[in-house]
């Protein structure tokens, strides 16, 4: 009896036709120890898209000043954040990897990667290479596009693939600021707090960037003014990080029925003395308290996984600042983490990339 064609195909070739899905977050130290934190900071900050100054200046700044002096302080904060299983960012990433794989099924191969440290992008892609995949879809976990985040992931993926003799079809998810389920996820998380407490004000805090990086993105040299130009998302500013952040706020405000005059968009995590995108979250918090605002519901919609910048910076340090300035009640809305609606968002992003 003649065997069918499918039965005669070797096991390794049965994998052909699958789609690889590389989900990528920023990264985390391997441990909260000072050496591992220093190693992470060096890799992260030596990226020319993160600190966009000439290499020699960047090398000296990172290796002689920032990493040696900041690592011990950051290590203390990471120890506060760390869970028994490890870094929350990595824990949520591993859960999402499994949940997304289960949801997508056998036609897909899902792998988690970090732009910095482990698991590395290159390792994930080399595993894909051995599988003979037809297509690879890269999904950076950054809702708003920025050269320092999504752009850096693109560059690293292209660096690795440039060495391949045969390249499969490649697709990238650029941003998902207006994806309905992404918005709905934060809305659901916020509604439970809004049902329990009547907040005076709502703060939407995004990770900051140097103003020069925003300006560089305006290839016309005429659109970006770091102000009213972010009032709407248009064809000319659609890739502007600041404009995308304001768009995310507008969509969340509309979905939550927050009245005008009751919310603000601001930017956190400044580094160095050069101007960063404004308004600054720290200054905004002090101003709100000085105006008599007593309760704030805070969002961090630039992050889909809770991490140092959300749990510690927004959830604890900004809470302390608000209370020291005269505020009474501060509540952080958690990120999407491994929630069902985040998995639904990713399924849609993959299938409609």
Give binding residues as ranges: 207, 309
Q: What is the DSSP string of 76-100?
A: HHHHHH-BTTB-HHHHHHHHHHHHH
Cis, bond preceding 279 (omega within 30 deg of 0)? yes
SS3 268: strand
What Rg do the C-alpha atoms of the chain give, in angstroms? Answer: 21
Binding-site residue positions for Fe(2+)? 207, 309
CA 155 to each of CA 3, 64, 144, 148, 332: distance values in angstroms, whole numbers, following the listed order? 46, 26, 17, 10, 33
Alpha helices (H) in the chain, listed in sequence order: 5-8, 34-45, 55-60, 67-81, 88-104, 121-131, 152-161, 180-196, 211-216, 241-256, 281-290, 318-324, 340-351
d(CA 95, CA 339): 10
Taking the CA atoms of residue 282, residue 190, residue 255 and residue 307 in that order, the dihedral angle to the nearest 10 degrees is 60
Structure tokens at 323: 């209370």
Q: Residue 218, SS3?
A: coil
């Amino acid at each position: 009896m003649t065997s069918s064609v499918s039965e005669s195909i070797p096991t390794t070739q049965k994998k052909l036709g699958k789609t690889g899905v590389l989900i990528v977050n920023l990264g985390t130290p391997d441990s909260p120890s000072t050496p591992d934190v220093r190693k992470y900071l060096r890799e992260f900050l030596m990226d020319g898209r993160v600190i966009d100054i000439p290499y020699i200046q960047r090398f000296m700044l990172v290796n002689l000043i920032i990493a040696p002096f900041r690592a011990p302080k950051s290590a203390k904060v990471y120890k506060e954040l760390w869970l028994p299983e490890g870094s929350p960012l990595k824990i949520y990433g591993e859960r999402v990897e499994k949940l997304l794989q289960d949801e997508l099924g056998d036609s897909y191969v899902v792998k988690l990667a970090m732009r910095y440290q482990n698991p590395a992008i290159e390792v994930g892609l080399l595993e894909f290479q051995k599988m003979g995949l037809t297509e690879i879809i890269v999904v950076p976990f950054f809702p708003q596009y920025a050269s320092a985040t999504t752009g850096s992931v693109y560059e690293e993926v292209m660096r690795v693939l440039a060495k391949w003799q045969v390249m499969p079809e490649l697709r990238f998810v650029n941003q998902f600021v207006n994806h309905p389920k992404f918005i709905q996820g934060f809305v659901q998380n916020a509604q439970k707090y809004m049902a329990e407490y009547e907040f005076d004000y709502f703060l939407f805090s995004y990770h900051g960037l140097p103003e020069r990086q925003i300006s560089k993105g305006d290839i016309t040299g005429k659109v970006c003014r770091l102000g009213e130009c972010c009032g709407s998302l248009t064809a000319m500013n659609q890739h502007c990080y600041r404009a995308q952040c304001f768009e995310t706020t507008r969509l969340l405000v509309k979905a939550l029925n927050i009245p005008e005059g009751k919310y603000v968009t601001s930017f956190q995590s400044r580094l160095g003395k050069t101007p960063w995108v404004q308004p600054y979250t720290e200054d905004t918090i002090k101003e709100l308290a000085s105006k008599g605002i007593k309760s704030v519901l805070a969002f961090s919609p630039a992050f889909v996984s809770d991490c140092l910048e959300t749990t510690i910076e927004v959830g604890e340090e900004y809470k302390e600042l608000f209370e020291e300035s005269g505020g009474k009640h501060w509540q952080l809305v958690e990120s999407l983490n491994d929630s069902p609606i985040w998995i639904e968002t990713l399924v849609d992003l993959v299938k409609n990339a």
